[in-house]
Amino acid sequence: MRKFIPILFLFASTLVFAADEPTRLSAEVLWQLQRVGSPVVSPDGSQVVVPVTTYPEDGGDAISRLWLLTVDGDVLQQPLTAEGGSASAPVFSPDGSRLAFIRKRDKEDAPQVHVMPMRGPGEASKLTDVPTGVSALRWAGKHIYFVSNVWPEMTSDEMAEKLEADKESKLSAKVWNAMPYSHWDSWVSEDRQNHLYRIPDTGGEVEALTLPSGHQLSRVDVDASDYDVSPDGTKLAFVADGGDGPVYTNEDIFLLEIGSGKTVNVTEDNPAPDDLPKFSPDGRQLAFSRQHIAGFYADQVKLMIHELQSGKSRMVHRDWDRSAEGLVWASDSKGMYGAIDDEGTRRVYYLPLNGDAPVRITDKTDFGQLSIAKNGTVVAQNQSAVYPGRIVQIDVDRGTMRRLEEFNDDILDDVLLGTYESVSYAGADGDPIQMWVHYPPGFDPDKEYPLFLLIHGGPHGAMTDGFHYRWNAQTFASWGFVTAWPNFHGSTGFGQAFADSINPDWASKPYADVIAAAEWLMDKPWIDAKRTVAGGGSYGGYLSTILLGRENPFNALMIHAAVYDMYAQTSADFAVHEQRFGPYWERPEIYQEISPHLYADRFNTPSLIIHGQNDLRVPVGQAFELFRALQLRDIDSRLVYYPDENHWILTRANSLHWYDEVRQWVERYAAPGSK
């Protein structure tokens, strides 16, 4: 494990001599890469199936296919599904002989369950014909389980008729009597609900599971982690709203004996979210996650174990100052493996249930999307700042990994990469701040380079040692900049107190940390303090706008999807501090102190403003309001507006344009390259 990054650094440096005009990690290269998804290992640990997505150069729809890998290396990578449409969410049958997955063909209106044999030749066959489509597959016993977003009072035929009528209708109005009305980039229909269903794995009648219970899954963002089925197929655990408020939900874990229609709320004593139910392989325990502070989405996540026979729940590793996330059960039901956000790196840990402390298994680079076989074989997705997602087998005893595929090697073999390292500096209150620093290809410490300081979103989250397609630090560095990502106060993975230290004051400590990062870097002999720029998106855009109203050392800023006006942000699906600390009419002092728009009279830094029309998390009016203020103050500013993008820039053509706009702006105020 420890040899991995130094080897990559050596690999990158040797390319300097191997090519006269080497290719750098440009935005164009990012879009040539195949994006490797979450692996699923077969029950016997011999096979791995992974979805892989490619993006045509002509800008057409993404193509997602399933690929087969083998743990013993006999099959390096072999396509299981043909091109055309999309295939995703693979799940093995309990005996490993078949594979179910979701496919949506080019001319189909809704994705459906397909099943194919894994032990011999045979084509995939469509198992469902659900008008509202399927998502979130699981396979337990002799049934395949899925979620569908339905009109609960309608039959399947009535739903099909309504969908057809809606497609032909010219009516675009949407009506709500209660929240939620939106989520990230989608409008939420008040008339539809997410419910669980199952179908025999050989086909037959679809059976409604949660609909008779009177409970529905969340109206937004539902996936397979929101429910689980006991190994014997008799019990269902799912997440539903256990609260009674008109605006804020309280996610609880409900247990259902399949066929009874009766549910038990096993977490009704907790006013904050309970989530991610997972039955143990022996069927005796149910693991779930718990937070304790309602309205604080980054509250530390604790592992809970519910004993099914006694009906009692207990917390595991109460004093561990990390969030228990990305969990899968060990095959012996005595513990769980997790992908843990840990001081700027997502590491694999083993969490024993016998009272012993968590054990760290991996060290360098990021790991996630764990999948475990009945024999204990663990596979995962692995990535770093200098290579995209790969599929690996992890030796959990030795902490080593072995790669199982070669996706993207043909492209990256010809790409000249820079190097990067983790550093620490003193931030607000003298606290140590971890920061990733990226150096351009061919970096010479005896020369001076411009600085592009990047500010991550959230604010609760962290920039870990992973590969970012939308904000790729190595791509920015390839332009001739030293780039850096500080994990300022509020970032996760550094303990509960550190994450919560910025609430409700979102501005002061992160601002101090960003300024301290800039000063730390500008003090280095290889940084030209006269060529500095900074920027970020979402909360990073917010903090960039805070910089606008305060002293800062930057020649220019780039501000993407920024929360500029805290009052206007209450029109979004996320209103910052409202649930935890009260709305602005109850706590006006909070919003007056941290809303950037109230300090517009101090703005004096040239700024590039970027936003998408379909952004419902930070509504686009924020960008127009900010741009108007800059223009009124006669500050050099540029507004880039994407009428068909959301909080992120996701399409190929617009992403290439975005990178080009950012490059032109930062180069205008900080000439690239060494001097």
pLDDT tens digits for range 31-72 = 999 999 999 999 999 999 999 999 998 888 899 999 999 999
**SS (HEC) of 146-160:** EEEEECCCCCHHHHH
Output the pLDDT for position 421.
97
Find the DSSP H helices in 187-317: none
Give the DSSP letter of residue 660.
Answer: H
Interval 581-598: pLDDT, tens: 999 999 999 999 999 999
Rounded Cα distance between 251 and 218, Å, is 8
Q: What is the pLDDT of the chain when averaged over all its residues?
A: 94
Residue 143's Cβ-side half-sphere holds a number of Cα atoms within 13 Å equal to 21
Omega into 459 within 30° of 0, i.e. cis?
yes
Give the DSSP letter of residue 76.
Answer: S
CA distances to 461, 467, 497, 541, 598 from 345, in Å: 11, 12, 18, 23, 36
What is the residue-wise DSSP string for 361-425? ---SSEEEEEEE-TT--EEEEEEETTEEEEEEEEETTTTEEEE---TTHHHHTTEE--EEEEEEE
Rounded Cα distance between 326 and 321, Å, is 16
- Mean pLDDT of the 297-303 span: 97
Q: What are phi and psi of 10, to 5 degrees?
A: -65, -40
pLDDT-derived band of residue 17, with 50, 70 and 90 as boundaries?
very low
Instruction: Name the nearest CA neighbour of 465 among 485, 489, 491, 495.
Output: 485
Output the pLDDT for position 238.
98
Output the pLDDT for position 21.
62
Interval 134-153: pLDDT, tens: 999 999 999 999 999 999 99
- Mean pLDDT of the 490-519 span: 98
Domains, the chain, in order of start with CATH, read 418-669 (3.40.50.1820)
Output the pLDDT for position 482.
98
Q: Which residues contact 364 (CB under 8 A, 6 or more apart)?
A: 1, 2, 4, 5, 345, 384, 465
- Mean pLDDT of the 59-88 span: 89
> Do residues 428 and 516 touch, judged by C-beta distance below 8 A?
yes
- The count of other CB atoms within 10 Å of the CB of residue 120 is 6
Output the pLDDT for position 85.
76
Output the pLDDT for position 58.
87
| 5 pLDDT more than 70 | no
Q: How is residue 189 written in tokens?
A: 């229909």
- Mean pLDDT of the 612-633 span: 97
Q: How is residue 366 written in tokens?
A: 């990021």
Output the pLDDT for position 83.
82
| 321 pLDDT more than 50 | yes
Interval 533-584: pLDDT, tens: 999 999 999 999 999 999 999 999 999 999 999 999 999 988 999 999 999 9
User: Is the pTM higher than 0.75?
Assistant: yes
For the chain, the farthest-separated pair of C-alpha atoms sits apart, in whole angstroms, at 74
- Mean pLDDT of the 90-116 span: 93
Q: How is residue 10 written in tokens?
A: 């050596």
Describe the crossing of helices 539-548 and 508-522 by its angle, rounded to 10 degrees. Answer: 80
Interval 202-247: pLDDT, tens: 999 999 999 999 999 999 889 999 999 999 999 999 999 998 777 8
Report the DSSP pairing between strands 98-104 and 86-92: antiparallel
H or E stretch at 16: helix 4-18
Instruction: Name the nearest CA neighbour of 237 among 135, 305, 153.
Output: 305
Rounded Cα distance between 72 and 27, Å, is 35
Instruction: Name the nearest CA neighbour of 133 among 86, 165, 92.
Output: 86
Rounded Cα distance between 401 and 266, Å, is 38
| 510 pLDDT more than 60 | yes
Instruction: Please state which of the ranges 208-222, 333-347, 428-442, 650-664 shows the lowest mean pLDDT.
Output: 208-222
Output the pLDDT for position 304.
98
| 8 pLDDT more than 70 | no
Output the pLDDT for position 20.
52
Q: Which residue has the higher pLDDT, 409 or 20?
A: 409
Burial class of residue 225, CB neighbours in 10 A (0-12, 13-18, 19+): middle
| 22 pLDDT more than 50 | yes
Q: Which residues contact 371 (CB under 8 A, 6 or more apart)?
A: 38, 39, 40, 41, 48, 328, 378, 379, 380
Q: What angle do CA 431, 367, 464 make, to 5 degrees?
A: 30
Rounded Cα distance between 513 and 524, Å, is 17
Q: Which residues contact 598 (CB under 8 A, 6 or more apart)?
A: 592
The residue written with tokens 């952004």 in the block is 615
Q: Which residues contact 260 (CB under 8 A, 6 or more apart)?
A: none
638: amino acid identity, one letter: R
Q: How is residue 364 written in tokens?
A: 């360098």
pLDDT-derived band of residue 1, with 50, 70 and 90 as boundaries?
very low
> Do residues 642 and 591 touch, judged by C-beta distance below 8 A?
no
542: amino acid identity, one letter: Y
| 12 pLDDT more than 80 | no
pLDDT-derived band of residue 105, with 50, 70 and 90 as boundaries?
confident
- The count of other CB atoms within 10 Å of the CB of residue 129 is 12
Instruction: Name the nearest CA neighbour of 244 among 311, 178, 304, 298.
Output: 178
> Do residues 492 and 462 touch, judged by C-beta distance below 8 A?
yes
| High-pLDDT (> 90) share of the chain, % | 89
Omega into 6 within 30° of 0, i.e. cis?
no
b/e map 418-456, b = 16+ CB within 10 Å: bbbeeeebebbeebebbbbbbbbbbbeeeebbbbbbbbb
